[in-house]
Each structure stands twice: as structure tokens, then as C-alpha cells.
Structure 1
């Protein structure tokens, strides 16, 4: 799953908290990174149920900053991740 998070999500610890949530859910590989347009991109690979939990947290969780919206796509995992990283 790749999700793009809009709102006040840069400079507030959002990527760090996203990584912590992914690790708490467990079984997820991927990353969270800032985009030039102010969004944060979150890539999560793992069991769909676990990815859905992370997506739910991105939309409704107690995140730093403020989330105005989340858009996601589901695709075949590409691999290449050793853990869940901040980029």
C-alpha cells in the first residue's frame, strides 16, 4: 500500500510517529518520507490487515500535526525494504 497524507504533516514528527505505529502493528516493511509538495508518502508492505490498520491510524489516529486527507493505492509489493524506515 502507498498512501499520501495531506495536511500539516511535515516538521511535526509525523514520519517518526508513523514508523513507531508501523513497528507497533508489526510485520510491516516500508518507509515514510516527506514530499516537496508538503505531503508525506507512506509505503507499507505486509499482510493486508496490518496495512489496513496503519491506514486507519493515518486517517483517524492520534497523529502529530493535522491530517486533512489520505489517498491510497494498493499494488503488488515491490520489496527492497529491510524494515520500516524514515526517509
Structure 2
């Protein structure tokens, strides 16, 4: 467990995978900084897992990315764009 926001971001970004990261906080500032700086394709704020709904058309960032194109619809044309889905509960 991370004791500081900086440590949480550092731990999340230190792994080779970038599929999902989440943070539990009461601070809007911490939530905003985490979701902007963490290197993950899906980000949860006060949610244990950003639910992989069918309309999330990509697999994540870094080594969590499978293949050479996003597999669903228009995202296949956005290969050079790193997208991020943020789910928050307040």
C-alpha cells in the first residue's frame, strides 16, 4: 500500500503493464493528479475496478496492449492515440 500520492503513482507506473489502476481518496486534487499522471488505459477513482464494459474498445497501455491495432470499430484508426477511461464515484 502506498503512503503518499507520489508513492501510489510511482508504484502504478513502475510495472510493465498499464491495463488498470485505481485510487481511493476524499481529495479531488489527489484524484485529478492520479488520473492525469498514472499510465493506465482504465483508471478507477473510489471504485475497486474500472468495469471492463463491452464499450471499452481497447485493452490498455504498455505491455497490456495486445496486437498492433485496437480490436473494435473506430479505435482501430486511433492506433497512435493513447486513450484513457476514468471511472469515479463520489
TM-score if structure 1 supplies the norm length?
0.30
Please say which structure displays the higher CA radius of gyration: 2
More strand by share: 1
